[in-house]
Amino acid sequence: MKLDQASAHLEFDVIIVGAGLVGSAMACALAADADGESLNIAVVEAGADPLRFDGVDFDPRVVALTHASQTLLKSVGAWPLIEQERACPYTDMQVWDADGTGSIHFDCHDVQQYNLGHIVENSVVTRALLSRLHSYPQITLLRPAKVKTLVREEGSEQQSVLLEDGRKLSASLLLAADGANSKVRELANIATREWSYGHDAIVTTVRTQQTHQYTAWQRFLTSGPLAFLPLQTQRQDQWDAHYCSIVWSLKSEQAPELMALSDCEFKQALGQAFEYRLGDVEEVAKRYSFPLRQRHAVDYVQPGVALLGDAAHTIHPLAGQGVNLGFLDVAAMRDEILRACRRQLPLTDASILKRYQRARKSNNLAMMAMMEGFKRLFGADHLPTRWLRNEGLRQLDNVSILKNALVKQAMGL
């Protein structure tokens, strides 16, 4: 990596704003390929280095990574680092309706796999990607550095950004991976369609009486889905499988009430909402709550500028697809940029971003529509809908061809 120079104007081929999961993966994906070796890449990140959690202290933010995401992380050499730090494979998934008898069980062996995916703490993924990012001399990481404005120069195809510290960066391509409240999206005047799900998510880590059995559990209550996602930590050379990350999505008006409970009362409420499937909730870490919004950028691209990951789309966490969609954006953008490099097209060529948008937008929209459908179906109190969804779950559980097709799609196989 080149040293962060203090000079006022720096020029690159590609500027990536945001070194979260998606931005750091984007930089590594370009640099890791022989066709992208000569690209001079800047990554601008406003925040500090990711925190380190260990022992029974877990990052409250976790992601369920699909096989497709794992393939991308392997291609940049980050996956072995993630496994070395900690990741929890899950072999089964158990989903059931709180309001009836419908349930569905997915087993990795039905689709000839060793697992359905891995639950990994966000900070573990980011740290692994940053470690890889530092190994590429063609990437310059500017951190802490915050994009303040975009500078549009008449007659120039170059994209320029001004940082809060006064430095100016220019490149042929500006890739925004700066999260749900993307500054670049705002500065580029790219509109979004967005609405509140009417849900808040409470996230925390719990220890349960029984082990999680390497299963991702999800109970659909009419107030919203409650997920117990398995985690593991090493204790005296043995894996302790009593810890789960919980994502409890519930109506926004109910969240403050649950947040105000004492730990003891919260453990009771959580155990009860989960039907004590893993026995009592014995310990609970600090709780965090935030509102859930669906957001989709009307356009992912404009000349020289593209949005990736949460900057382009945010969806309900109920199917754990958020960053997996972001990693698919990364793979699509990498393919288009490297294709241009192979064909010796300039990076300002409009076909690169158009092809990226075509590859990703309809796919992301389809996933968002499916999440909205699930949320409405399971949120309905109406008796015929309740009957239908329970019957549907039961039927689906018995039709292995359909069930396996569904699980393969969710795994990105």
Q: Which residues contact 23 (CB under 8 A, 6 or more apart)?
A: 16, 17, 43, 45, 175, 177, 178, 308, 309
**Of 17 and 169, which has the nearer Cβ to ligand FAD?**
17
- Closest approach of Cβ 317 to ligand FAD, in Å? 4
Distance of CA 192 to the CA centre of its chain: 19
**Of 22 and 95, which has the nearer Cβ to ligand FAD?**
22
- Closest approach of Cβ 326 to ligand FAD, in Å? 5
Position 123 contacts ligand FAD (CB under 6 A)? no
Of the ranges 151-159, 213-221, 271-279, 315-323, which one interacts with ligand FAD (CB under 6 A)?
A: 315-323
Q: Which residues pair with 107 in a beta bridge?
A: 92
Among positions 118, 132, 183, 219, the unique one binding ligand FAD when judged by CB under 6 A: 183
What SS3 state is found at 281? strand
**Of 76 and 341, which has the nearer Cβ to ligand FAD?**
76
- Closest approach of Cβ 101 to ligand FAD, in Å? 27
**Of 71 and 390, which has the nearer Cβ to ligand FAD?**
71
Distance (Å, whole) CA 104 – CA 320:
17
Position 410 contacts ligand FAD (CB under 6 A)? no
Position 326 contacts ligand FAD (CB under 6 A)? yes
Q: Encoding tokens for residue 21?
A: 């999961």
Distance of CA 135 to the CA centre of its chain: 24
Q: Encoding tokens for residue 266?
A: 């919260």
Ranges within 239-298 binding ligand FAD (CB under 6 A): 247
Distance (Å, whole) CA 207 – CA 284:
7
Distance (Å, whole) CA 317 – CA 262:
25
- Closest approach of Cβ 17 to ligand FAD, in Å? 5
Alpha-carbon torsion (57, 17, 175, 203), positive or negative: positive
**Of 139 and 341, which has the nearer Cβ to ligand FAD?**
139
DSSP structural state of residue 71: H
- Closest approach of Cβ 265 to ligand FAD, in Å? 22
Please tell me the count of residues contacting ligand FAD according to CB under 6 A: 31
Position 44 contacts ligand FAD (CB under 6 A)? yes
Among positions 321, 360, 368, 403, the unique one binding ligand FAD when judged by CB under 6 A: 321
Return the number of other C-beta atoms located less than 10 Å from residue 153's C-beta: 10
Instruction: Report the relative pairing of strands 168-171 and 9-11 from DSSP bridges.
Output: parallel
Position 171 contacts ligand FAD (CB under 6 A)? no
Distance (Å, whole) CA 173 – CA 217:
42
**Of 15 and 341, which has the nearer Cβ to ligand FAD?**
15
- Closest approach of Cβ 120 to ligand FAD, in Å? 9
**Of 244 and 341, which has the nearer Cβ to ligand FAD?**
244
Position 201 contacts ligand FAD (CB under 6 A)? yes
Decide if 208 contacts 244 (C-beta within 8 A). yes
Position 63 contacts ligand FAD (CB under 6 A)? yes
Distance (Å, whole) CA 316 – CA 165:
35
Strands in 271-401 per DSSP E: 281-284, 288-297, 301-302, 305-307, 313-314
**Of 65 and 353, which has the nearer Cβ to ligand FAD?**
65
Q: Encoding tokens for residue 99?
A: 């309001």
Q: What mask of x and - would describe binding to ligand FAD in positions 145 to 164, judged by CB under 6 A?
A: -xx-----------------
Distance (Å, whole) CA 118 – CA 246:
15
Of the ranges 84-92, 132-140, 294-302, 323-331, which one interacts with ligand FAD (CB under 6 A)?
A: 323-331
Distance of CA 121 to the CA centre of its chain: 11
Give the C-alpha distances (Å, rounded to integers) separating 235 from 19, 238, 284, 364: 32, 5, 19, 40
Ranges within 128-147 binding ligand FAD (CB under 6 A): 146-147
Q: Encoding tokens for residue 168?
A: 């100016």
Give the C-alpha distances (Å, rounded to integers) separating 343 from 35, 78, 92, 336, 351: 10, 28, 44, 11, 12
Among positions 225, 230, 320, 379, the unique one binding ligand FAD when judged by CB under 6 A: 320
Position 45 contacts ligand FAD (CB under 6 A)? yes
- Closest approach of Cβ 161 to ligand FAD, in Å? 9
Ranges within 16-35 binding ligand FAD (CB under 6 A): 17-23
Q: Which residues bind ligand FAD (CB under 6 A)?
A: 17-23, 44-47, 63-64, 146-147, 177-179, 183, 201, 203, 247, 309-310, 317, 320-324, 326
